[in-house]
Structure 1
Amino acid sequence: MRFQLTDEQQALRAAVRDVVGRFLSAGPSWLVAARGGAAKGHSPAPLVDRGLWSALGELGVFSLRLPEAEGGAGLGLPEAVLVFEELGWALVPGPLVATHLAAGVVPGAATGEAVVAAADGSLVEWLDEADVVMPGAEGAVAMRSVDPLTPVHRVPAPARVEPVAVLLTAAEQLGTAGRVCGLAVQHARTREQFGQPIGAFQAVKHLCAQSLVRVEVARAAVYAAAVTGDAVDIAAARLLADEAAVRGARDCLQVHGGMGFTWESEVHLHLKRAWVRARRGGGGTESEELLAADLAGRAS
């Protein structure tokens, strides 16, 4: 079966990229805060960009899957995946998945008026910035996050993770994977060493090519899981997306060399965000165990 995006789905994706792009072109407040904190020798205090949050609410990002009778767009998982891929591509911070899942349950979540935090496995992100905290985050203890733009707390009793949350995290990872692949290729074309672009060297070519392969394989798996909604398909998509994001960001950092570690470059922020997302519930061992159980059941 051949999947192809409809005109409406392409328009939705373009609208999200346009809204996020306008905030990025003005200088994203989260990146400015991170750079400012680093320049002063301390970690910044991450803040949710409320202006962007409201804009995403007006666009329907959080109410996307709500029925039209409840003020939503009445769309499904495939459209949500496209939206969250764009948000991951742009490195938008905040509890996006938690707020999306709270739409229709928490007043103000659907419109972007409320920021909602929820425990996802053993972690809860953006607890202090949230207007509403869902049950399950009681007793959370603050941790030092590897990503300076994603504050995290650890909860004593791991919460159950919905398959939709796992899939939307995979979509965010897919967005990061696509972004860092593009950044690596762009840098390889423009950065010169020994009188020629570094992309002319075989080792750099291989890094870029391998990154692209991982992105396309992960994209096929994530899009397919969005259509089937099957928990096993989602687990497989999550593993592939985590790998594409983390390994892609590491390879992109390698292509950039020392410049990739600086605050002037967003590459290291994508890598750190990918690491944090990979620790959310439904990734790593949990997805591997679900796949193993499914394979064992088929074999028996």
Structure 2
Amino acid sequence: MDFQLTEDQRALQHGVRELLDGRFDAAGLREAANSGAPSLDRALWRELGDAGFFSLRVPEEEGGVGLGLPEAVLVFEEAGRALLPGPLVATFLAAREVTGAAQGATVVTDVSGGLVPWLDEADVVHGDASGAVPLRSVDPLTPLHRVPGEHQGGAASEADLLLAAEQLGSAGRTCEMAVRYARERTQFGRSIGSFQAVKHLCAQMLVRTEVARAAVYAASVTGDGAEITAAKLLADEAAERGARDCLQVHGGMGFTWEADVHLHLKRAWVRAGLGKAAARAEEELAAAL
């Protein structure tokens, strides 16, 4: 069976990257991070709606794009690569149910775990957010609330897979950042990428990213719950460890606010905390195997 991307899928991926590069590039990311208090860019949200981002899986007869879960994964991978802020997954999944969500006119968030992102900015909240307490989020681009009680998530779902796709995009981006810096930074008259320890870090990042990519893409085709759970675990690991290794390659520079490495690490931490707890996911996957 051929799992290579089709020409149309590559065109979709390229189109979304072009849109985000033009509307939320590195300068936009830095401006959002430096704003002090994260706020949702409603104009950008509507532009995403106009481009068909949220209506990707809405049938054509209902005014949507009419594509499938594999294409949604490609789109969310690009969003993760750009660190696009906002409750993307919840709004995307509500496109057929909530008026205005498909067009980007309505912002939706979801109480799927103990953490609830973008609660104050949401027009519609799915789930019980009573008693929610605001948190000081580690990610400057994702405001969070915590709801009381035990929230470990239910069965693996499309939401988990789309979060995994975002993590995959972030992992791929930090791998690119590490390789580029290793080529540009010199020490002792040589690029640091020529040193074996740095080569090993970059190689490990690439391996984790590609293993996660295979798992995420496969789960998008099968829709199998166990495969989605495995994909989320692998993508979380690739994003978190990849950002840590990227920071290591950058050395002291990676710890500074001016570098974007820390933004990927902090977002990876937040995404990993959304939905089902990792320990429970591992137990369910083990039982399924």
Alignment TM-score, normalising by the size of structure 1: 0.92
* Aligned positions, number: 287
Listed as ranges, the gaps of 5+ residues in structure 1 are 37-43, 296-300
Matches within 5 A, 1:14-93: 14-25=14-25, 27-28=27-28, 30-36=29-35, 44-93=36-85
CA distance in 1, matches of 2:161, 2:32: 29
SS at the partner of 2:134?
Answer: strand
Instruction: Give distance in 1, aligned partners of 2:131 and 2:156.
Output: 21
Partner in structure 2 of residue 40 of structure 1: none
- Percent identity, aligned pairs only, is 66
What CA distance in whole angstroms lies between the structure 1 residues aligned with 2:16 and 2:275? Answer: 26
| 1:237 counterpart (200, 207, 231) | 231
- Partners of 2:222 and 2:155 in 1: CA distance: 18
Aligned mates of 1:68, 1:286 — CA distance in 2: 38
RMSD of aligned Cα (Å): 1.4
- Residue 166 of structure 1 contacts residue 283 of structure 1 at CA under 8 Å; is this kept in 2? no
User: Counterpart of 2:268 in 1: which secondary structure?
Assistant: helix
Q: Which residue of 2 aligns with 1:7?
A: 7
Question: How do residues 88-107 of structure 1 correspond to structure 2 at under 5 angstroms?
Answer: 88-107=80-99
- Please state how far the C-alpha of 1:161 moved relative to its aligned partner: 6.2
**Range moving further from structure 2, 211-220 or 137-146:** 137-146
Q: How much does 1:25 deviate?
A: 4.1
| Residues 35, 263 of structure 1: 8 Å contact kept | no
Aligned amino acid, residue 271 of structure 1: L
Matches within 5 A, 1:1-300: 1-25=1-25, 27-28=27-28, 30-36=29-35, 44-157=36-149, 158=151, 160=154, 163-295=157-289
| Runs of 4+ residues deviating >6 angstroms | none
Deviations 1:251-274 (A, max 9, x none): 000001111122221110000000
The answer (yes or no) to whether the contact 2:25–2:82 under 8 Å persists in 1 is: no
Superposition deviation, residue 54 in structure 1: 1.3
Change (3 A) 1:231 1:161: closer
Do 2:156 and 2:228's aligned partners in 1 also have CA atoms closer than 8 Å? no
Q: Is the 8 A contact 1:91 1:176 kept in 2?
A: yes
Q: Point out where structure 2 has 5 or more consecutive residues left out of the alignment.
A: none
